[in-house]
C-alpha cells in the first residue's frame, strides 16, 4: 500500500461531503440508507458513522493497546492510520486519549483504520523531530493468514470467495500456529481476529513479543515458514532426507504437530489415533475427505511429483491406475500408503519422509510473512468493518474458529444497527440511553466481552509484574 504523508487536518476529504462531526447523531441515523443496510456487499458511509459513534468499542481497544488503566506511551505514542472514504490514506495519526481518538474517527469517518507501532515520540509530532529521534520501539507481534495462499489447495471456491468448508483450512492453520506460539515461544496473550472477509489476523501482546526487534521477528517468522516456493513449484517443503533405515529427525515442534506412524493413517480411525498429530488429522478430514483435493488430474499429478523419485517404477504404476479410472482422494492416498508400506526396507524411510512432507505442504499454516517481519507494519484494527462485506472484524476463541462461518458468524454493520434500533423501539419509555457501551444491546456483545476478558488478563499480568519488581 502506498504510504503518504498525512495532509493537514481535514485535507484529503472530498469537497462537498459534509464533515461528519457537523452532523448530529439523529441526522446521521436519518441519512442511513435503509436499502444499503440490506446489502451485505457494501457499507453505507452513514451506517458506518453510526457504527463508530455508537457501537465500536473504542475504550476496550484503547485499554488493550495501552495495557494499563492509566494512559501510557503505549497509546499516546502509537501510530494509527486511516483510509478515508475517498481512499486517501493518513498515516502517523496519534491521540492523547481514547475519546480524542473516537472523535477524530467520527470526524473523518474512515472506511477502515489500522494500528501501527509505539514510537519513541508521538507520531503526530514527528515532523518537528530529528529523524533519528523518531523510531518504532514496540509493537505487538502480528500474523496474517489469508485464503489467497490456499487457492492451490482448496477445490470448493476460488479467488475472493470463501465458504465454511475452505474456512476449515484457516481453522487448522490457526490451531497449529496458536500451539507453536504458546508451546514453543511461551506466549500467552494471543488474540485471533477475523479479517472480515477470508482470513484471520493474530496479535501477540506479551511484553516479550512487543519488544522483539525486526531481526528477531524475521528469525521467528522464518521458523514458522515451513512451506516455501512459488505456485508453479510442486515441492514446497524440504526438511531433509532420512538416512536409510532410521527415522529422520524433525524439530520437536513439527513432530508434535505431525505426529508419528504416517503409514497407518489410512482411514478415519487411523487419523484419530493419538499418535497422529493435528496435521495428519486435518489432512485426512479436510484435504482428502472434504476438499477431495486429488480428484482432478492436475492436482493428483502434483501429488505424484511429490513421491520419491528413486521409486519411479511404483510411481508410474500409480499414475496408470489413476488415469484409468476415477478414484477419490481417500482411495488415492490409500494407494500411496499401500505402495509405501510394501516398499523395500532401504526405501522405506524415504517414503515416510516424502509422505510427511506432503502432509505438511497441504496443512501447515501458510502465513503472509511480510506482515510479521517488521515492527512498523500496519494491521487493520480489531472491530473495524471490512469495506466489501460490511462484516465486523471480531475476535474469536481458538476453540470456536473451526465452527465459525465467514458468511454468518460475524455480524454486519447493517445487522447491528437494526438490532440497536429494535432495542430502542422496545425501550423507548425508559431513560435516555447513555450512548456508551451500546454494543451491549447487540450481537457484538459476546465479541467485546471476549476481547475485554483477554485484555483483563494482560492487565493482571502487567500489574503482577510491576509488583514483583
Ligand atoms: Zn470454499
Band of residue 323 on the pLDDT scale cut at 50, 70, 90: very high
Cell of 163: 465458504
Distance in Å, CA 428 to ligand 1 centroid: 43
Band of residue 429 on the pLDDT scale cut at 50, 70, 90: low
Q: How far is CA 318 from the centre of its chain?
A: 38
Distance in Å, CA 289 to ligand 1 centroid: 14
Q: Catalytic residue at 100?
A: no
pLDDT of 187? 97
Calculate what percentage of the chain has a pLDDT beyond 70: 85
Q: Name the least confident of 37-46, 253-262, 272-281, 398-407.
A: 37-46
Distance in Å, CA 145 to ligand 1 centroid: 15
Given a contact cutoff of 8 angstroms between Cβ atoms, the answer to whether 391 and 196 are in contact is yes
- Strand 89-93 with 379-380, pairing: unpaired
CA dihedral 431, 432, 436, 437 (to 10 degrees): 50
Residue 63: pLDDT over 70 = yes
DSSP 431-445: PPP-SSSGGGGSTTH
SS3 369: helix
Residues forming a β-bridge with 463: none
pLDDT of 437? 77
Q: Catalytic residue at 206?
A: no
Distance in Å, CA 317 to ligand 1 centroid: 32
Residue 11: pLDDT over 60 = no
Distance in Å, CA 202 to ligand 1 centroid: 22
The two counts, helices (H) then strands (E), for the chain are 20, 9
DSSP 252-282: HHHHHHHBS-GGG--SHHHHHSTTB-HHHHH
Residue 430: pLDDT over 70 = no
Q: Catalytic residue at 144?
A: yes
Burial of 323 by CB count in 10 Å (0-12 exposed, 13-18 middle, 19+ buried)? Answer: exposed
pLDDT of 428? 65
Residues 461 and 67: their CA atoms lie apart, in Å, by: 10
Residues 239 and 197: their CA atoms lie apart, in Å, by: 33
Residue 182: pLDDT over 90 = yes
If you average pLDDT over every residue of the chain, what do you get?
87
pLDDT of 269? 53
Contacts of 240 (CB under 8 A, 6+ apart): 248, 353
Residue 412: pLDDT over 90 = yes
pLDDT of 15? 39
Given a contact cutoff of 8 angstroms between Cβ atoms, the answer to whether 273 and 264 are in contact is yes
Distance in Å, CA 411 to ligand 1 centroid: 20
Catalytic residue among 33, 40, 146, 424: 146
Give residue-wise pLDDT tens across range 124-154: 999 998 888 899 999 999 999 999 899 989 9
Give residue-wise pLDDT tens across range 356-365: 999 999 999 9
Give residue-wise pLDDT tens across range 274-286: 778 899 999 999 9
SS3 424: helix
Give residue-wise pLDDT tens across range 221-269: 988 888 887 666 778 887 777 666 677 888 888 999 999 888 875 555 5
Domains and CATH numbers, the chain: 25-224+367-468 (3.90.920.10), 252-363 (no CATH)
Catalytic residue among 114, 138, 140, 144: 144
DSSP E strand stretches across 346-435 = 379-380, 395-396
Q: How far is CA 230 from the centre of its chain?
A: 21
pLDDT of 7? 38
Residue 320: pLDDT over 80 = yes
**Edge-to-edge strand list for the sheet holding 190-194:** 141-146, 199-204, 190-194, 395-396
Q: Backbone phi, then psi, for 338, in 5-degree steps? A: -65, -45
Q: How far is CA 191 from the centre of its chain?
A: 10
Given a contact cutoff of 8 angstroms between Cβ atoms, the answer to whether 371 and 202 are in contact is no
Residues 351 and 263: their CA atoms lie apart, in Å, by: 9
pLDDT of 233? 74
Buried b / exposed e along 333-342 (16+ C-beta atoms within 10 A): bbbbbebbee
How many residues are there in the chain? 469
pLDDT of 235? 82
Distance in Å, CA 222 to ligand 1 centroid: 28
Residue 181: pLDDT over 90 = yes
Distance in Å, CA 6 to ligand 1 centroid: 39
Given a contact cutoff of 8 angstroms between Cβ atoms, the answer to whether 383 and 123 are in contact is no
Q: Which residue has the cell 488503566?
A: 69
Catalytic residue among 79, 114, 149, 311: 79
Distance in Å, CA 397 to ligand 1 centroid: 21
Give residue-wise pLDDT tens across range 431-453: 555 555 799 999 999 999 999 99
Amino acid at each position: 500500500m502506498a504510504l503518504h504523508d498525512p495532509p493537514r487536518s481535514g485535507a484529503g476529504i472530498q469537497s462537498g461531503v459534509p464533515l461528519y462531526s457537523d452532523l448530529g447523531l439523529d441526522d446521521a441515523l436519518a441519512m442511513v440508507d435503509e436499502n444499503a443496510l440490506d446489502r451485505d456487499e457494501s457499507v453505507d458511509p452513514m451506517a458506518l458513522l453510526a457504527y463508530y459513534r455508537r457501537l465500536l468499542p473504542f475504550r476496550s481497544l484503547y485499554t488493550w493497546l495501552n495495557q494499563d488503566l492509566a494512559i501510557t506511551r503505549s497509546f499516546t505514542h502509537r501510530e494509527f492510520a486511516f483510509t478515508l472514504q475517498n481512499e486517501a490514506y493518513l498515516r502517523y495519526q496519534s491521540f492523547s486519549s481514547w475519546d480524542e481518538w473516537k472523535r477524530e474517527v467520527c470526524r473523518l469517518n474512515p472506511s477502515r483504520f489500522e494500528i501501527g507501532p509505539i514510537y519513541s515520540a508521538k507520531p503526530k509530532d514527528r515532523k518537528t523531530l530529528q529523524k533519528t529521534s523518531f523510531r518504532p520501539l514496540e509493537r505487538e507481534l502480528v500474523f496474517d493468514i489469508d485464503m489467497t495462499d490456499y487457492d492451490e489447495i482448496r477445490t470448493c471456491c476460488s479467488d475472493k470467495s470463501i465458504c465454511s468448508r475452505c474456512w476449515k483450512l484457516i481453522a487448522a492453520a490457526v490451531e497449529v500456529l496458536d500451539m507453536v506460539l504458546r508451546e514453543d515461544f511461551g506466549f500467552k496473550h494471543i488474540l485471533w481476529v477475523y479479517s472480515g472477509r477470508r482470513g484471520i489476523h493474530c496479535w501477540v501482546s506479551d511484553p516479550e513479543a512487543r519488544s522483539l526487534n525486526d531481526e528477531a521477528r524475521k528469525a521467528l517468522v522464518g521458523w514458522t515458514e515451513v512451506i516455501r516456493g512459488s505456485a508453479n513449484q510442486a515441492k514446497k517443503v524440504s526438511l531433509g532426507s532420512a538416512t536409510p533405515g532410521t527415522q529422520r529427525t524433525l524439530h520437536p515442534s513439527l513432530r508434535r504437530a505431525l505426529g508419528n506412524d504416517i503409514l497407518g493413517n489410512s482411514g478415519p480411525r487411523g487419523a484419530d489415533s493419538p499418535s497422529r498429530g493435528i496435521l495428519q488429522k486435518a489432512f485426512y478430514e479436510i484435504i482428502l475427505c472434504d476438499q477431495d483435493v486429488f480428484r482432478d488430474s492436475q492436482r493428483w499429478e502434483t501429488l505424484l511429483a511429490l513421491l520419491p523419485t528413486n521409486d519411479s517404477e511404483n510411481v508410474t504404476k500409480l499414475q496408470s491406475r489413476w488415469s484409468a479410472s476415477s478414484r477419490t482422494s481417500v482411495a488415492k492416498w490409500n494407494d500411496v500408503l499401500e505402495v509405501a508400506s510394501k516398499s523395500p526396507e532401504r526405501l522405506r524411510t524415504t517414503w515416510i519422509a516424502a509422505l510427511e512432507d506432503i502432509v505438511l505442504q497441504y496443512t501447515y499454516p501458510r502465513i503472509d510473512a511480510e506482515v510479521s517481519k517488521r515492527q512498523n507494519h500496519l494491521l487493520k484494527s480489531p472491530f473495524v468493518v471490512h469495506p466489501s462485506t460490511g462484516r465486523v472484524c471480531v475476535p474469536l476463541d481458538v476453540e470456536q474458529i473451526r465452527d465459525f462461518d465467514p458468511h454468518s458468524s460475524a455480524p454486519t454493520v447493517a445487522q447491528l444497527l437494526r438490532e440497536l434500533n429494535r432495542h430502542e423501539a422496545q425501550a423507548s419509555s425508559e431513560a435516555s440511553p447513555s450512548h456508551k457501551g451500546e454494543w451491549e444491546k447487540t450481537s457484538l456483545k459476546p465479541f467485546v466481552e471476549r476481547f475485554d476478558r483477554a485484555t483483563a488478563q494482560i492487565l493482571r499480568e502487567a500489574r503482577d509484574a510491576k509488583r514483583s519488581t
